[in-house]
Structure 1
Amino acid sequence: MGPPSAGDVRDAADRTRDRATATTTRRPRDGDRRRRVRGSVALADDARRRRAREADAGLPVELPDRHPADARAGVGLRSTPPERRNGLDAVTPRPDEFEHEAAGAEFDVTPDPLARLAAEATEPETGVGPAEMDVSRRAPPRRLPDLTTGPIRSGVMLLALPVLGEQLLNAGVAWNDTYLAGHLGAVATAAVGFGAYISWLISLLFSLVGIGATAIIARAVGAGRTRDADEAANQAMTLAVLLALAAIVGMYWLAPPLVRLLGLSASAGPLATRFIRIDLVGYVPESLTFVGAACLRGAGDTRTPMKIMAAVNVINVLATWGLTFGWGPLPELGAVGIAWGTVTARLLGGVLMTIILLRGRGGLRMSTDLLWPHGNWMRRILRIGLPASIDSAIMWSGHFVFLAILTRAPTRWPDDVMFAAHIVGIRIESLSYLPALAWSVAASTMVGQNLGAGNPRRALAAAREARNQAVGLLLLTGSLFFFGAETLFRFLSADPRVIECGVPALRGLAFVQPFVATLIVYLGALRGAGDTTVPMLFTVLGFAGLRIPIAYLGGVVLEGGLVGVWSGMYVDLVARAALMAWRLRSGRWQHARV
């Protein structure tokens, strides 16, 4: 039998391609990539031996002048013919091949054009065009950990600790604002505190997008669908900006009626309105920062949002102090300087997040082609995020009614003192709430990615591990609340009446900290699975059935002061924690559609 011809080589490549197409229809994951590279090397060796035999027999061998990978990239024909040695090309490896290898992506290792062509023929048909292939194969600048394998405890910690750092920085900014307002008087504390509640309302609007994007991206990354994750991130950013623009228009006109509805004093009301309207300037950059961070967390990158927020918070503190007291050339604006300092920091955050996502991070990249509104993607995001947003809106509305009860409860203090004590107490309470939120984010990402990978048991184990770690941390903060309540209040307020009013309520809150951890972490786990409707119903029950009635009973009817009003919060937190634990144990969240 004579040596095989070039046609035999092409026929063998066709048969290899047919077998690969019949057995592989999905985009390869890491293990498949390693097998693909080994298979490509074997095929290259086989093709090289066959072509050597052809050359020895004097048979003509057809060599393409255009590299297949260059053809896909749109590179023109080579200007000079390849050097030939005994019928073989002396092909110099291209630099981009080593870049792909370093990034852990697929690359072509076959050493000559015909073998390259045969190896390319073995790639499965994906049904996507060149642009989609480029996006799907793009390796992130920093390789993210695989959250679907390995130890769960360290995986949870790896996700939670950067978020904890970010949340503590956020708490530091909130404490900074309260500290500045507290040393300007009870009127400034009440006005800035009400402005903070409005800012919270706007952040809940952005969570409508962020929660949906996190669930979809985490599920897509777990299943290896990187193209879907990229599209979801871009559509989420577009939707966030549209909502921010709507919020600017709406809140400009709603600010005065909301202030009047709450019943702030004649001194605090106008200042609160002015604070809110200044804050409007930062809504669009805040939306970019908030939703961009949610997208990155869904992809498993919690470090980048922490770094961005670190820069934002440093600028926030410096700008608020400088504008409040008039450092150097800056004007002395008083309480209004707190609002302008916050806006300055938000502008920085929006710019940083946009630059990072345009360059690509965590496997995600902003692209003008993908930012144009797409109805199907936006409906998917809203279908998951809307129940969670309604949940948050109900919670905010409940807090608003809660504040209205607080301002109308009989008290021996002047009008703004109990309200200021409540604001300071909530700031202190964030020392436990924000760390619990960090483990909630970890649970959300772990649950979403493991459900996407088809491993619900590991998803459940991750949720429980996150809860256990959060409970241990909040037991420490509970001890701090009980034994250090007076010291904490003295740090944030110089008014002895505010301190005397708020310390007993904070000590009562210390006893419910384990329930706070359970509630927040399990809520994050359910949202990561896409199960957002049932938790929304739990929130309605907790606020309408427990928190508001008990707060009214304890604060207005029984005249229990701040402790009487907060008693409704204590009961609500315990009850909803039990309901979240029951929902997680039922397992129905594992079948939620995203």
Structure 2
Amino acid sequence: MNKIDMTTGNERDILIKLSLPIIASNFIQTAFGMINMIWIGRAGSDAVSAIGTASFFINLATALSTLIIIGTGIRIAQSLGAGKEAEAEVYLKNSLILSVFISIVFSAIVGLLSRQLIGFFEMNNPYIEQMAVDYLLYSLIGMPFLFLTTTLTTVLTSYGNTKLTFQANTAGFVANIVLDPLLIFGFGIIPGFGVIGAAWATTLSRILTLAIMVIFGNKYIVASLKQKIDFKKMFEVCRISVPVTVQRVIFIFISIYMAKIIVQFGTEAIAVQKIGIQIESISYMTIGGIQGAIAAFVGQNYGAKHMGRINSGFNSALKLVTVFGIIISLLFILFPKPLFSIFIDEPDVIEMGVGYMQALGFSQLFMCIELLSVGAFNGMGKTYAPPIVSIIFSAARIPLAILLSGFIGLEGIWISISVTSIVKGILLTAWFKIISKREMRAAKAIA
């Protein structure tokens, strides 16, 4: 089975070669959400608020998918680094089974509780609440496709085949561009379906993405189907993933509670946060590409016991991430209004959005180095470290937001998010540097 050997050669060149297709794929995924938001924004801030509220539970599904993808990505990369390709195939098969099972269970539970979940936000607007319930229910239909595309993207990255993930996501993105306006607003005698149309456009696009991955990546999948179902390895994957999954699930619940604080300033404030998150995802998804590359790179080299390469590879990636983070920070701080105006044309919402962008602009560099460090920790299999820092300081946002918003209003909530991101980035990067140097000394002592 073809794979990229990351245990030899120039570290920076390997990381760039591996990360560029992932970054491109992630940009396509980001554009997915942005295209949705641009079209929904044309329907008004009520529709944006509805989707923004329902999206917390879509994000919860994405967080749960890490129960599969983190452990699977680590074990496949480490198995390949150790030359155990048959073992990697076992992990692949079992990850697909877990993806289908967990996604169906999640969809059933959230679907049954959808009205109560949306009601938690107390928006006091039945029209927006109903739109949010509708969007959530129709989005749940696509959950198995979300889980499977996410899992296969991680698997293909571990094998080094990031070109296919880019091609598949590009096709899905093009489909989404076409389907969004048609299904949201209609065309000619064909009626539009509003937020329900947006949900269907996303689901149909994901189906196309998954189909391309399966058709052109079948050599990986077919080989894995010959392997046995191994419940022990399923448990192992979940065990490795649990710290990250717990962290991300807790983060979603923190975000949900933060949204309840935000909605006190009006449903327009929820719309601001939803649009702001979409813009911020430019940096999140770009660094997510380097994060995926460093996780695979560290995983293979950790499996091959090449500790020196891990340290030098991380330093190379850190330089790239720092330059990018500074550029994004300057864009957010200097040009917030033009960026926000792309998504909505309501002056009050845009003005609130300027405060969001400028506050978050100061933390973009630190968010970028945080994500890089998380990828490096995951590649080593030390998934316990990032959740410790993330849970503590993400939870700190709640009391800090309540305190600051009492003094300076809505901007205080944005500042609480920015400050905690800065702290997380500094701590995680320093922690990984300490651990990697310790591992390198231990490897030299054994040698």
Q: Does 1:350 align with 2:210?
A: yes
* 1:560 has 2:416 as partner: no
How far 1:351 moved relative to its partner?
2.4
Deviation of the 1:145 alpha carbon: 3.1
The reply on whether 1:269 has 2:125 as its aligned counterpart is: no
Q: In angstroms, what is the RMSD of aligned CA positions?
A: 1.7
Q: After TM superposition, list the pairs within 5 Å mapping 1:36-435 onto structure 2.
A: 139-140=1-2, 144-264=3-123, 265-327=125-187, 330-357=190-217, 359-361=218-220, 365=222, 367-370=224-227, 373-408=229-264, 411=265, 415-435=266-286
Contact 1:485 1:506 in 2 (8 A): yes
Q: Are 1:549 and 2:408 matched, yes or no? A: no
**Residue in structure 2 matched with residue 572 of structure 1 by the alignment:** 420
Specify the code of the residue in structure 2 equivalent to 1:318.
Answer: V
Deviation at 1:365, TM superposition (A): 4.0
1:536-571 deviation per Cα after TM superposition (whole angstroms, max 9, x unaligned): 111221122x2111111112x22421x210111111
Give the TM-score taking structure 2 as reference length: 0.94
Q: Which amino acid aligns with 1:160?
A: S
Distance 1:559 1:488 in 2: 24
Contact 2:54/2:118, CA 8 A, preserved across alignment? no
Verify the 8 A CA contact 1:451 1:529 in the aligned structure 2.
yes
Q: Secondary structure of the residue that 1:318 maps to in structure 2?
A: helix
Which structure 2 residue ranges, 5 or more long, are not aligned? 441-447
User: Is contact 1:406-1:418 (8 Å) kept?
Assistant: yes
The one-letter amino acid of 1:275's match is Y
Q: What is the aligned partner in structure 1 of residue 443 from structure 2?
A: none
Task: Please list the CA deviations of residues 192-218 of structure 1 after superposition, one character each: whole Å capped at 9, or x if unmatched.
Answer: 122322221111111210111110011
What does residue 536 of structure 1 align with? 387
How far residue 367 of structure 1 moved from its aligned partner, in angstroms, is 4.2
| Aligned-partner Cα distance in 2 for 1:533–1:329 | 55
Counterpart Cα distance in 2 of 1:534 and 1:478: 26
What corresponds to 1:48 in structure 2?
none
**How far apart are 1:248 and its partner, in Å?**
1.4
How far did residue 582 of structure 1 move?
Answer: 2.6
Specify the SS of the correspondent of 2:5: coil
Query: In percent, how many aligned pairs have the same letter?
Result: 25
For 2:318 and 2:112, locate their aligned partners in 1 and report how far apart those are by CA, in whole Å.
41
1:9-30 CA-partner distances (Å, limit 9, x unpaired) = xxxxxxxxxxxxxxxxxxxxxx
Query: Is 1:479 equivalent to 2:330 in the alignment?
Result: yes
How big is the shift at 1:281?
A: 1.1
* Cα shift readout 1:117-144 (whole Å, capped 9, x = no counterpart): xxxxxxxxxxxxxxxxxxxxxx43xxx4
Write the deviation string for residues 485-522 of structure 1: whole angstroms up to 9, x where unpaired. 10011110111110011102211222222211110110
* Partner Cα distance (2:291, 2:371) in 1: 6
Cα distance in 1 for partners of 2:222, 2:17 equals 23
Q: Residues of 1 paired with 2:55 and 2:9: CA distance?
A: 41
Question: Larger helix proportion, structure 1 or 2?
Answer: 2
Aligned position for 2:356? 505
Matched residue of 1:360: which SS?
Answer: helix
Q: Which ranges in structure 1 are unaligned for 5 or more consecutive residues?
A: 1-138
How many residues in Structure 1 have an aligned counterpart in Structure 2? 438
Instruction: Tell me how far apart the structure 2 counterparts of residues 243 and 510 of structure 1 sit (CA, whole Å).
Output: 36
| 2-structure distance, mates of 1:193, 1:474 | 26
- C-alpha displacement of 1:296: 1.0
Opposite residue 259 of structure 1, the aligned amino acid is I
Q: What is the CA deviation profile of residues 518-540 of structure 1, one whole-angstrom value per residue up to 9, with x for unaligned ones?
A: 10110111011111112211122
Q: How far has the Cα of 1:251 moved from its partner?
A: 1.1
Maintained 8 Å contact 1:288/1:354: no
Q: Which has the larger radius of gyration?
A: 1
- 3-state secondary structure, aligned to 1:478: helix
**Relative contact order (C-alpha < 8 Å, sep 6+): which is higher?**
2
Letter in 2 for 1:382: C
* Structure 2: distance between partners of 1:428 and 1:584: 28
Distance verdict in 2 for CA 1:225–1:192, change over 3 Å: same
Is contact 1:190–1:416 with CA below 8 Å preserved after alignment?
yes
My pick for the range that moved more, 440-449 or 327-336, is 327-336
The aligned residue for residue 68 of structure 1 is: none
1:313-370: CA deviations, max 9, x gaps? 111221111111212564311222111111111222232223334x214xx6454443
Paired residues of 2:283 and 2:364 also in contact (CA < 8 A): yes
1:396 CA drift (Å): 0.9
Letter in 2 for 1:575: V
Rounded Cα–Cα distance in structure 1 between residues aligned with 2:340 and 2:23? 23
